[in-house]
Structure formats: C-alpha cells, structure tokens
Amino acid sequence: MENPVIDLKGLTKRYGSLKAVDDLNLKIEKGEVFGLLGPNGAGKTTTILMMLGLTEPTSGKALVCGIDATSNPILVKRKVGYMPDSIGFYDGMTALENLVYTGKLNGLAENEARQRALDLMDLVGLGDSAHKRASVFSRGMKQRLGLAEVLIKRPEVIILDEPTLGIDPAGVKDFLGLIHQLSKEQGLTVLLSSHHLHQVQMVCDRVGIFAAGKMQMEGNIHQLSQTLFAEDSYSVDMTVREPLPASWEHLEALQNIRDVRGVRMAGNLVQIACAPEVIPDMVRFFVARGLDVMGVHKREFGLDEIYQKYFDNHQIENNANEKSRSIFKRYISKK
C-alpha cells in the first residue's frame, strides 16, 4: 500500500503493567472500509483514541492522512469524523440547529452550514425531522443524526463505534448502504468498530480481529476463511427431493470422489466440503443415481464462523456480545 490514509506503526499503549495496545501495525487505504473486531477490553477504543490524538501512545505512531495524531491532534480532528457509540446533542436545539452549530464550529459559514445540514439530513433519512428537537429523537434517529454530524465537515476519514446500535433493520441496511456509497463514490475511508459481525461482513472490504491488544488476523473474508478453515473453507449444500437414509448406500462413493473432503447428511440435505470446481461432478453424481436435485447452494464461511473459529482455536477469553456468537457446524471428515 503506497499512501495509506491510516498508518499505525508499532502503536503501543500501556496502563501501568497492562498493555492495552501492543505494537500494532495497520495500514488502511483511501476509500477502504475496515472493520475492527474484538472482544470487550481488546484495545479497540484505546486504538481509536490514539488515532484521534485523544490519548498519547506509550510508543509508536498513529499517522492519519499523513499527520501524526499525537503531535498534531487539531489537524487530525479536521480530517477525521468520529462517531462514538453514544452520541450527545444539544437537547434544546432542533436537529437542524445542532448540525448547523457543528458546521459553524468546523469553519463553515452560516448559509453553507445550513444548506449542507439540510442535504445531509435528507441523505440520512431525517429530511422530515429537521425541525424537531434532538431530545425527542429515538435512539436510531440519533444515530442517523450522528452520522450527519460526522459528515458535515467533509471528513476524509470517519471512525464509527457501534454505529448501528438502536437502528431498525431497514435503517441498518440504509445506513450500511450509505457507508458503502460514501467510501466507493467519494473515497471516504472508514474504520468501523462493531460486535455485529453480519453487518461488518456486509460493508467492510477488510477486517481485523483484535484481541489482547494485538491484531491477531487481518484480511478480507475470503482470506480469513482460507486461513482458518483451510481446505474446508468451501462447501456445497445439495438438496434432494426425498430424505436419504443415514446408511445411504452411495455415501462412501461420494466421500471417495477426488477433492471431496467431508460429507454431512441431514434428511434431504447433503453438505459436502469440497473445492468449488467439483460442484458439477457432485450434481452429476446425484443425477446418475436417480435422485432429483432440488437445490445446489455454494457456501463460504461467514464472519460469524470465522470469529468463532478464531477464538475456539486460540482460547482467548471472548466476552463479546453473546448475540454475535453462532454455532459452528463441523463436517464429518473423512478418516
């Protein structure tokens, strides 16, 4: 990566004997959406605070848009919009007044701030609520207003901490769609910290699993899946019309096909761990035995399984949001 927008070099933060962040190296490029994942206490917030110049590193550097966040925090704050997990507004002001106020604080003239605030309220789906007091906003509406407030100063980077908390499912889809659009169309660089793995997977180009102050793994979903699940990272779900008996006579022949690494059967569903190239062979196998194939679904492991597998493998205490955990389904592997 030639000119990363975010460049963390050996970033370390100690609190007494605790290393909250331990020699972190991370580069994020322009227009990239990077998901920062990790259990409670992993060091995510401490990292973000150092990137904003709000906490001084014990050693190492946080460069944002080429600026050292520790020695130039004010300059960095002009370039970076930060949306914390709980956002405060001036309750006595309307949503529009709040945004205009923030715009003016960031150097916009009154008219420009007003116009931009109105445009942004439309963008985040609050166009009809511009003149309502922020105090009457629901949590989800406050999150949307928070995004508008972050965007008003035209940041080059936005850092979002659990941004979808309290937003309804349709709103989450809109919100993530908007993040994606801003990154791809306007080159906005996004660092997203969240425990909602499915949402992170929907929007992030790359994710990093952070634990015990260290970046344990990083890459896109495909790379992480390949690293953790190796040969089992692909599988295909075949659905046949009639349920198959547990002692299906063709099971062994299926298991012995080249590149098939495991088979699991449940009624009329057969899950086969195999390379994607052999999917047509699988279909032919079933058809040749007189079975009606009703569905073929190629499946890759998602971030939920990747995250769980990582912590299963490494036995690092995982206190993260229990809702984000899912049951990892294992295949019956060939002996």
Ligand X SMILES: Nc1ncnc2c1ncn2[C@@H]1O[C@H](COP(=O)(O)OP(=O)(O)OP(=O)(O)O)[C@@H](O)[C@H]1O
Interface residues with ligand X (CB under 6 A) are 15, 18, 20, 38, 40-46
292/317 with CB nearer ligand X: 317
Shortest distance, CB of residue 38 to ligand X, whole angstroms? Answer: 5
The tokens describing 201, both together, are 């997977």
CA gap 178, 161 in Å, rounded: 16
233/318 with CB nearer ligand X: 318
Shortest distance, CB of residue 139 to ligand X, whole angstroms? Answer: 18
CA gap 24, 212 in Å, rounded: 11
Shortest distance, CB of residue 22 to ligand X, whole angstroms? Answer: 10
Strands in 45-201 per DSSP E: 59-64, 67-68, 80-83, 157-161, 189-193
Pairing of strands 189-193, 157-161: parallel
DSSP state of 147: H
106/321 with CB nearer ligand X: 321
Would you call 267 helix, strand, or coil by DSSP?
coil
Adjacency order of strands within the sheet including 157-161: 80-83, 157-161, 189-193, 33-37, 206-211, 214-219
20/147 with CB nearer ligand X: 20
Shortest distance, CB of residue 122 to ligand X, whole angstroms? Answer: 32
- Using an 8 Å Cβ cutoff, are 32 and 186 in contact? no
215/282 with CB nearer ligand X: 215
Shortest distance, CB of residue 237 to ligand X, whole angstroms? Answer: 34
Give the CA diameter of the chain: 77
87/291 with CB nearer ligand X: 87
Shortest distance, CB of residue 211 to ligand X, whole angstroms? Answer: 9
The tokens describing 335, both together, are 């002996």
CA gap 263, 277 in Å, rounded: 16
